[in-house]
Amino acid sequence: MPIKVPAGLPALQTVISNGTPVEELKASTGDTLRIALLNLMPMKESTEADFIRVLASSPLEIELTLMKLDTHTPKHATAHHMQSYYKGFGELRHTTFDGLIITGAPIEKIEFEEVTYWDELREIIDWAQSNVTSTLFICWAAQAALYYKFGIRKHLLPKKMFGVFPHTIHHPSLPLFEGIGATINVPHSRHTELHREDIVNEQRIELLAESDESGVHIMQERGTRNFFVTGHSEYALTTLDDEYKRDVSRGLEIELPLYYYTNENPSLAPVNSWQDDARKFFCNWLQHYAKS
């Protein structure tokens, strides 16, 4: 539960006020795991809170460093927030970390080479190979890394993949899935997908979990501690609800998130079917992969 974050970070108090038992670590010790979060999501503070919540569920001491791109200025975060709590990649390039998490980004429909920070992201992926013990690439970042490293392309879906889906775990005895069982529920919210045949035909990748409905979910680069994750185990209980109601209010065409609301009724509370597994997943990653 002890976690050290940049001094004064508002997201920590958000997590604590929402009832998550978090102990703020004032000073790192020799046993502290150093984790970097490259936060590419537009709503920085909610994403910070999501990852503080799941990382702080571990009994290990965590020091969280918030990383930003040097070649991109976020539109939805204040300059004060980014300057106060984040460090640019250039400032961190000579630092080593036990773990790195690269988040998704709402730019799925843009070709990777057209992303303004594509060159810097590729540099970070290369840098992580020798400076990070274990990396989690999440959602769009998973697609980006798989494309850069292996040439695996993303594909536009006919409609948004939206809901909380059960996934079959192919190797439940792996330390990554300790205490989870044969299936894992995970939220998805995306407009693109990876094709299963592209994954299984790439000998350098092992498919660890997938769903009949939402497709491939967790993959590992063989011989490394790098994982590619298409879903969002870190999501808060109300994230999909907020997203659904936001799009409805804008008059956008959006279907109900599947397997999420009680009785599939958006006026009723969401069903919390994934957060226990999410805490176990991140605890296992920290304990068995980020920790040397």
Residues taking part in catalysis: 139, 232, 234
| DSSP per-residue codes, 99-123 | EEEE---S-TTS-GGGSTTHHHHHH
d(CA 144, CA 111): 10
Counting beta carbons within 10 angstroms of the beta carbon of residue 159, is it exposed (0 to 12), middle (13 to 18) or buried (19 or more)?
exposed
- Measured between its terminal Cα atoms, the distance across the chain in Å is 19
Under a CB-based contact definition with an 8 Å cutoff, are residues 8 and 26 in contact?
no
Helix or strand run (H / E) with residue 205: strand 205-211
**Phi/psi at 143 (5° precision):** -65, -40
If we measure between CA atoms, which residue out of 165, 99, 162, 112 comes closest to residue 140?
A: 112
| DSSP per-residue codes, 19-68 | T---EE-SS--TT-EEEEEE--SSSHHHHHHHHHHHHTTSSS-EEEEEEE
d(CA 215, CA 200): 12
SS3 (DSSP) at 3: strand
Q: Pull the structure tokens for residue 163.
A: 């809901």
- CA–CA distance from 229 to each of 87, 97, 208 (Å)? 25, 20, 10
